[in-house]
Structure formats: structure tokens, C-alpha cells
Structure 1
Amino acid sequence: MDLEDLRAVGTALEADQVLSAYRAGLFPMGIGEGGTGPIGWWAPERRGVLRPGDLHVSHSLRASARRFTATVDTAFAEVVSACADPQREGTWITPRIAAVYRALHAAGHAHSVEVWADGELAGGLYGVAFGAVFAGESMFHRRTDASKAALVELVRRLDAAAPGRWLVDAQWWTPHLGTLGVSEISGLEYLAALEDAGRDDHCQAFPTK
């Protein structure tokens, strides 16, 4: 992360506050070691996004994805816990952060995509959804290509619910995300795309509560 992308610092962290921040193009992450407080509110100058038609699915990934079973919102807490595993390099998901996303999930705003193999959770991702926007927070895998398979399922659902209109916020672009089709746009471009996709009230990619 780049401190130039930091917009504000505070101590409060409530579910409704977090949802409002996402709608305004911000997301929370602690600025202390391992994501500890105080809470930083971030809006990257260069934003990583995935747009309709851009997902790169290699032949090997397509074959791998067929070996998994995908579900949505079946194991939200388990996905967050796996993403927050302190043994993972660069983890920033503290118990406080995890609790906020569980509250958002209970309110129907945060969702998970899980992939399973042999009856076990093999990988997944979670994030916050509003309109036709999915703000991705984190992903994990325990088997090769499992997190990528979760992304394939996410895009499949978004394509079905809001064809040509959805937007996935990946926050910061990385070379790994680039191989999957994530591109980088300016913060101003992101806000314009966010306003457009965020108004789509017809997107039903996830169960409602």
C-alpha cells in the first residue's frame, strides 16, 4: 500500500459506516502492523478493476474449475477466517475487521463465494456488493486454482445478473491480478464507473435477506 492513497484516519468502524465508505470509493484497512489500528480509509490513485469481458480464463483454469463445486454465502465466516489466517503473508484482517464484515453479511451487504473439493472448503473470496458493484476484499486457496475458480464463479453470476454493466473493485492492481484480467484505472475514472454501476438496482447476483 502507498500512504499517498490514504484519505483519512480514525478509530470508529461500524458496518453502516463501512458500507457508506464503499459507495463513496473508500475502503477500510488498519495502518498499524498486521492491519491493527488506527483505521485508515483508502482510495488508491490507481485503482485495480475487473470489467465485463476482461476475465482471463486459461485452458488449465477452465479444467481446474470443473473439478470444484461452487456455492455462495454458504460459509461466509469460514472464508473470512481463512483469509485472515495469520500465517498468510501480508494479512491485515484483524478480529475487529472480520466482525464488521460478518455484520455486513448478516445485513445482506457482504457475500462470499466458496469452492469445495471432496467435501472440504478449498478456496474462496468475499467482499461487499451494492448495485452491480462487487468490492472484493480478500481471497484464499488451499488447493491449486481454488481462489481463481471462485473468481470465475463470481464473474459468472455477475454476467448473468448485470451483463455488461457490473464492476469488480480489486483495490490495488498486482501482477497476479493482472494475469486474471484486472486492469488499472485512475481514481477519477473509478469514481465515474462506481457511480454508474452502483446505481444498478436490478443486479441480483447474490441472495437477498
Structure 2
Amino acid sequence: MSPPRRLAVLHSHLRPEGPAPPAGRGENELAEGQEAAVSTSPCAVAGDDSRSAAAGPVGDGELETCVFCRIIRDEAPAFKVYEDDVCLCILDSHPLAPGHSLIIPKCHFSSLEATPPTVVAAMCSKVPFLSNAIMKATQCDSFNLVVNNGAAAGQVIFHTHCHIIPRKSGDELWPTESFRRSSIEPNETSNLISCIKEQLDSSLKTVKTEAVMQS
């Protein structure tokens, strides 16, 4: 994948052009002949009790073709820098900067909203620890934390993951960093806030109802 394509995929304000890469050769699979640095435990299967119902039905075919699931099962190569019971951290094989890494849950969830809060929390809790090590190793003092959620946001591999991208002053990685932003309109903002709050209230009511039914 070319650098312009990778930039488009990762930048949430740009829609990626062209079809997604084949599942057997995803954006983070390494070139032939490269070896994995660390072995991992098997990826969760469709019948795993640890899978949350929020993930929705996942067929065997999706787990077989998902490049991240294959990496987790040690069926595809990757440079792995960290692993625990919940998540894995690997180097992106087409990095935007040296040290560009991905945090991936070991269970297959196709999107962030389908990922259980406990799994998201486990992933996020590792960000300070991992980013600090990555910044020191790459002699950087800053980083971007990026999640591309959904095709319009640039998600290519539909297995939840977040990017840690080390940054240096003047690297000019994001062209839009030099763009000027326009001010928000008070009237439009008021309506938007009302709509967001309505959605949040509805979601909270649903969560409370489900909690009561399960108790």
C-alpha cells in the first residue's frame, strides 16, 4: 500500500479510495519471509464463552480470513512487542513512522462499538505503558492515538484495533495540521448537543433495562 493510501486510511477526515485489500493479505501482514518475533496464544473462536453478545454473530469464515485473528493464532507473521491475556501489540507492517504500532484485542470484534467496554478499557489501559516505551525507543516525545472505526473513517481490517504513531516536531505527517479550522455556529451546535444528549439518554436507558433483566 502506497504512503498516500496509508495516509488516507488513517486520517479520519479522508475517505479511502479503492477496494479494501484481500483478507489474506491485509494492511498489517508482513512480507513473505519475515518472521514473528514472539509467539501468541490462540485467537478466540466463535463459540468462546468470553465473547460478548455485543459482537454479534461471527462465522468461522470471518475468523479464518481475518488477518489479525491469524496473527493471534500464530498463523501469520508479525513483529509482536507486547502481549497479555486480552490484547496484543504489534508493529504496523506499513508504518507512517518508525515504531507505528497497533493494539489489538485477542477476541474478534469487528468495530469499536461492538467491543465490550471491559476489552476497550484493557486496551486503553495499556496506551500509557506502550506509548512511553515506543516514544523512548524512537526518540520521540509525542504520539497520535488513532482509531479508524467504519469504512468511511478509513477502517480496512474489520477487527477492532488502535494505532500508536510516534511523532517528532516538524515531521509533517498530517497535511491537515497546517489547515485553519473554522469556528462552530452557536445555533447549529445547540441542536447538535441536544441530539447527542438524546442518544446518550436512550443508550443509558437501554443499558439499565438490560442490567435489570439480567439480574
Determine if the TM-score, normalized by the shorter chain, exceeds 0.5: no
Q: TM-score, length-normalised on structure 1?
A: 0.35
Q: TM-score, length-normalised on structure 2?
A: 0.34
Bigger Rg, which one: 2
Structure with the bigger RCO (C-alpha within 8 Å, sep 6+) is 1
